[in-house]
Structure 1
Amino acid sequence: MFKTVLLSSISLILSFQSIAQHDFDDLYKSNTSFKDYIESHMDEYDLFNSDSLIDLKIKSDFKVLNRKKDTSKYQKAILEYNFNDTVTIHRKIGIKARGNFRRENCFYPPLKLNFPKKKVKLEMLKRFDKMKMVGNCKSGSIYEQYLLSEYYVYKMLNVLTDSSFRVRLIRVNYYNTGKKRGNAESQRYAFLIEPTKAMADRIGRHIDDTSTFHYGQYPPENRHMITIFGYMIGNTDFSILARHNMKTTMPNEKSNYILPLAIPYDFDYSGIVDPPYAIPADVLPIDDITQRLFRGPCEPFEVYLPTLAKFQSKKTQLYNLINESTLLDKKSKYRMISYLDSFYEIIDDESRVKAAFGVNCK
């Protein structure tokens, strides 16, 4: 939808101007027809409301970026989006490496894209002033499959709850402007993660990074969704209370009840993805990330039943995400489906659920 709307708007541009490249913000500011069209289609400009693949080009000195992996400041870059053979919209942005482990251990660090707010004329685009982009850790088709597997994990959580980060798959042409390597170009898949504030606004909440909450203050449907989802995908690399790979949101409207919601992210350390660099923390009683471990506290079995029922009701949709993918190869599909199979075998058996979730503890 995003591409369709912008393609339609380009015809307005060509009616008065035949320049091959356009800066989106300058065009929005200077041309009334373009501005009116964009503003009349605001609802269709939700970048994360579509699954269609976006092709982008990012120009920068990636040799410097990969060598320094400095997270303190942004490096200059140009982002280009081609609409047809003659028209390209481009934006001046900043990029920097992010992510603790992957920044140090991956040849291609994850990026944060910075769209300077002061230069953005369209108010609704200011929600996307900074955006996380996840790419391959290293070269090769196998690392591409790990990336795509993590992308589909995000999509599975979207199926189960709206209180989750949305993602958008992109195909990036990295154009290296460094002098020593000339103008080398490479193409790899990546995905964008919905900005935190945009996610919170969408569900009618705001981010709370400072308040302290105990586990019982999180609504059962939220805390059980996170811990059971973590168990389903084999993820132990999170903590609700410590906010590790977790954002805490609060309702915008005042209430007599404190209802924080935890929103998880970063799923590459999951057994269902199983990249070679992922190992469980030393303090955990597992030897491999493919071993499931329930990270919730001891609660009676009955309290989990509503959430387990939701996982059952969404089973077909979760399987379809994987089976219908045209991007995952046979090996990745087999790995992910087999992992889901073993999860549903467990939750179909009450005694195995009780044993796995530790509900018999005291």
Structure 2
Amino acid sequence: MQKLVINFILLCLPFLSLAQHDFDELYQSNASFRDGVDSNMNTYDLFGNDSIFEITIKSNFKILNRKKDTSKYQKAVIEFAFNDSVDVQRKIGVRARGNFRRENCFYPPLKLDFPKKKVKLEMLKSFDKMKMVGNCKSGSTYDQYLLAEYYVYKMLNIMTDSSFRVRLLKVKYYDTGKKRGNVEFERFAFLIEPTKAMADRLASYIDGDSKFYYGQFPPSNRHMVSIFNYLIGNTDYSILARHNMKTMLPNNTSNFIIPLAIPYDFDYCGIVNPPYAIPADVLPIEDITQRLFRGPCEEFEVYQSTLLKFQAKKAMLYELIQSSSLLSSKSKNHMMGYLDSFYEILDDEKKVKEELTINCN
């Protein structure tokens, strides 16, 4: 825990306070603290740890919830425990984000702003803003939807490194708009790896304007994205239109353009199955739990190497869900059953050929 928190301090470096001590003063005066920071500065990976990180966020959530349509950040403070005994805090900005969930959820997802211009360490500048996904509404049922989406990200991490990593949080929200300032609610949430940090990890950069066709994406990438979304029952994405999708290009001087599609936002799918998720009217399905393949139309044979990867990772995907101490029995049964139905299709060559060719794009 101490190593984790020391390094999160680095993320929140500017204007950091440690109890009654200024961070810089403590760094200069306390040799053990300084050594702990220095020894971990260049190796810390916030998203390489599966433990639950506990934080507190203080802000006027009454105003935040009322202004769901704004792109402006409002003042907030983030707090967490240092060495399980001392509180650390940092001034940040927060705003509501997302499209559907911002308009339809009582608690919209947030973007946390750690002002980039005040970050002194170059290695931290890719962490100036981070997306935080929280519960759509209060209650243990919505905790389970949130956790299910978190595990979908972890499933994709198992299948490919070309994916957003996530970090599970337990968040206490203090509404500073209330006179008493008591804890209003405590919920699970998760941070999504910043796009710039992911691009650096993949030796790539973000492309936001170029037009691509399916053939430019490597088969291993376009097939992985398409089949994974079929596995989880997600139709709310588009590789070419970049809907719930980021496109990365490699950091090289080659004349060949090889883009990578990186999907995100997985609440609107059958394996999560929240009550607000319904299929688009133009799709030939009536329920979000019905699978529909939305990948490119190609010969079945070209998909086989990717299908073999799903068979090879089958045990790991099941173990991820089975071993969770956070998912309820009901959630586990639903997610495991959804995996079962996917692998039943994969085990039937005739069926999988039909699924990959009838509704392809």
Identity %: 71
Q: Please tell me whether residue 106 in structure 1 is matched to residue 119 in structure 2.
A: no
Query: Aligned partner of 1:278: which letter?
Result: A
Corresponding position of 1:350 = 349
Structure 1 residue 349, shift from structure 2 partner: 1.0
Q: Is the 8 A contact 2:293 2:360 kept in 1?
A: no
1:73–1:27: structure 2 CA closer, same or farther, 3 Å change rule?
farther
Q: Is the 8 A contact 2:206 2:246 kept in 1?
A: yes
1:52–1:254: structure 2 CA closer, same or farther, 3 Å change rule?
same
Corresponding position of 1:15 = none
Q: Is the 8 A contact 1:224 1:307 kept in 2?
A: yes
Structure 1 residue 69, shift from structure 2 partner: 1.5
Q: Which moved more, 1:180-189 or 1:141-150?
A: 180-189
Corresponding position of 1:255 = 254
Corresponding position of 2:149 = 150
Structure 1 vs Structure 2 CA RMSD: 2.4
Q: Which moved more, 1:311-320 or 1:117-126?
A: 117-126
Q: Aligned runs of 1:253-332 on 2, under 5 Å? A: 253-332=252-331
Q: Aligned runs of 1:1-362 on 2, under 5 Å? A: 3-6=2-5, 20-22=19-21, 24=23, 34-84=33-83, 86-180=85-179, 182-358=181-357
Q: TM-score, normalised by structure 1?
A: 0.92
Q: Is the 8 A contact 1:110 1:133 kept in 2?
A: yes
Q: Deviations over 1:188-240 (max 9, x none)?
A: 00000000000010011000001111111000000000000000000000000
Query: Aligned partner of 1:204: which letter?
Result: A
Unaligned runs of 5+ residues in structure 1 are 11-17
Structure 1 residue 155, shift from structure 2 partner: 0.1
Structure 1 residue 183, shift from structure 2 partner: 3.2
1:113–1:8: structure 2 CA closer, same or farther, 3 Å change rule?
closer
Question: C-alpha distance in 1, partners of 2:135/2:7?
Answer: 32
1:288–1:186: structure 2 CA closer, same or farther, 3 Å change rule?
same
Question: C-alpha distance in 2, partners of 1:326/1:230?
Answer: 25
1:330–1:359: structure 2 CA closer, same or farther, 3 Å change rule?
same
Question: C-alpha distance in 2, partners of 1:342/1:137?
Answer: 27
Unaligned runs of 5+ residues in structure 2 are 10-16
Structure 1 residue 126, shift from structure 2 partner: 1.9
* Other structure's SS at 2:246 match: strand
Q: TM-score, normalised by structure 2?
A: 0.92
1:27–1:293: structure 2 CA closer, same or farther, 3 Å change rule?
farther
Q: How many residues align?
A: 354
Question: C-alpha distance in 1, partners of 2:131/2:290?
Answer: 29
Question: C-alpha distance in 2, partners of 1:59/1:333?
Answer: 33
1:156–1:118: structure 2 CA closer, same or farther, 3 Å change rule?
same
